[in-house]
Amino acid sequence: MGSALISASLPVALFVVMLGLGLSLTVEDFRRVGRHSRAVVVVLVCQLVLLPVICFGLVLAFRLPSELAVGLMLVAASPGGPTANLYSHLFGGHVALNVTLTAVNTALIVFTLPIVVNLSAAYFLPDRGALGLQFGKVLQVFLMVLVPVAIGMLVRARAPEVAQRLNRPVRMLSVVVLVAVISLVVYAERANVADYLVSVGGAAVTFNLVSLLIGYCAPRLAGVDHRAAIASGFEIGVHNTAIAVTVALSPALLNSAEMAVPGVVYGILMHFAAFGFGLLVTRRQVLQAVSGGPGTVESG
């Protein structure tokens, strides 16, 4: 009964989350890539190349069980979450850049997520090769992820006043359905929750902190300004775990409750880490302003 309820609620939950994302996007968000090309390129390299490599090293270092290892790799392959925009707004990041990065990353995962999942499954579960996300199922990922985004964008383009009225309710509904799905997963795996937290909690927290720091430091080293680097940090550190959990649990895709656990754990812990990261970069900016040090005034 529990697993059937989870399976039935997953498409609805992801549709609501991605529809909410679409209601906040316009075609201009994609055109903006050229105006922030340096930041976009740095973030994409970090997101698509560096993070999976770092995550792979962490799952080996923490000696995660095979299914949990694939589940955390699935989180690494997921794009930035819509809440990255909120954190960026709260802590002085370049929100327009966040929206652009989220749009581009969400479009790209249709191609990149199956690669990461297949390579991970081949390495950690060599005797269960059929478990990998096969490229024949890419259409299902496309339908789950990009179609509701396109619907949201179409509503915003054709009826902006309707999109504006729907934006807040849909965002609130997104939170409700995500909490509901996470609660169902935790309930279904209640006998193993403590063991899972012990097994994956340390790796998830470490990966989250490293993602936030890399997301901020790599753009800064590439000459990207402070506000854009804050946006990049949140974009890379705050993943769309709804996608990771849905892909893991969907009977047509990975069909594994255990692989969904890292996404659930990361999805809970990342908010505490993101808030702490926001306080850290804000404090740094304030101290620079008080001391009159370099970087006191930066354009965004």
Q: What is the DSSP letter of 297?
A: S
Q: What percent of the chain has pLDDT over 70?
A: 81
- Whether the per-residue pLDDT at 134 is higher than 80: the answer is no
Rounded to 5°, the CA angle 88-220-215 comes to 50
Structure confidence by residue, pLDDT tens digits, 86-132: 788 788 888 878 878 887 887 888 788 888 888 898 899 887 655 55
Residue 40's pLDDT is 87
Per-residue pLDDT band at 10 (split at 50, 70, 90): low
- Give the mean pLDDT of 52-59: 96
Domain 2-291 CATH class label: mainly alpha
- Would you say residue 240 has pLDDT above 50? yes
Closest CA to 55 of 77, 84, 80: 77
Nearest residue to 119 via CA among 65, 53, 62: 53
Q: Where are the domains of the chain?
A: 2-291
Do residues 235 and 101 touch, judged by C-beta distance below 8 A? yes
Q: Which residue do the tokens 């090769």 mark?
A: 129
Contact between 289 and 281 under an 8 Å Cβ cutoff? The reply is: no
Q: What does the alpha-carbon distance between residue 300 and residue 169 come to, in Å, rounded to a whole number?
A: 30
Terminal-to-terminal C-alpha distance of the chain: 51
Per the structure block, which two tokens stand in for 57?
A: 């090293």
| pLDDT surpassing 70 at residue 299 | no
> What pLDDT, on the 0 to 100 scale, is given for residue 178?
67
The amino acid that residue 152 corresponds to is: G
pLDDT of residue 4: 56
Average pLDDT, the chain: 80
